[in-house]
């Protein structure tokens, strides 16, 4: 789950079409991960408290009391992991 503000365009998009792709990269180790699936906006204060980190105050000035604070939950349908330690890039794993 990811913390988000529900008034932002991404949250509105999820309300219309929950299809999403979430990608992560680790440039230091030349690794990439791609997750595809469906997302939903979730309002769960207890889960938000569990996931909260003081570093998030940078984006959410009012902390857990930020107006419109919500979570985005992704139900993953497929995942891929790629690495390029030798400079050529190769898929190391996938799940569908």
Q: For 16-74, write each residue's pLDDT tens digit.
A: 788 999 999 988 888 899 999 999 988 899 999 999 999 999 988 899 998 888 888 99
Q: What is the Cα–Cα distance from 76 to 82, expressed in whole angstroms? A: 17
Topology, domain 2-83: Pnp Oxidase; Chain A (2.30.110)
| Residue 6 backbone dihedrals phi, psi, to 5 degrees | -65, -15
Q: Which two tokens stand for residue 18?
A: 């929950």
Measuring CA to CA, which residue among 74, 73, 67 is closest to residue 8? 67
Q: pTM (2 decimals)?
A: 0.70
Q: Which two tokens stand for residue 15?
A: 């309300």
In angstroms, what is the C-alpha Rg of the chain? Answer: 16
């Amino acid at each position: 789950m990811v913390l988000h503000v529900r008034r932002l365009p991404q949250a509105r998009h999820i309300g219309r079409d929950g299809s999403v792709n979430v990608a992560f990269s680790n440039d230091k180790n030349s690794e990439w991960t791609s997750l595809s699936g469906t997302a939903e906006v979730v309002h769960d204060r207890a889960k938000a408290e569990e996931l909260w980190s003081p570093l998030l105050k940078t984006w959410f000035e009012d902390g857990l009391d930020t107006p419109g604070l919500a979570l985005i939950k992704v139900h993953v349908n497929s995942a891929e992991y790629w690495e390029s330690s030798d400079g050529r890039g190769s898929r190391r794993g996938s799940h569908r």
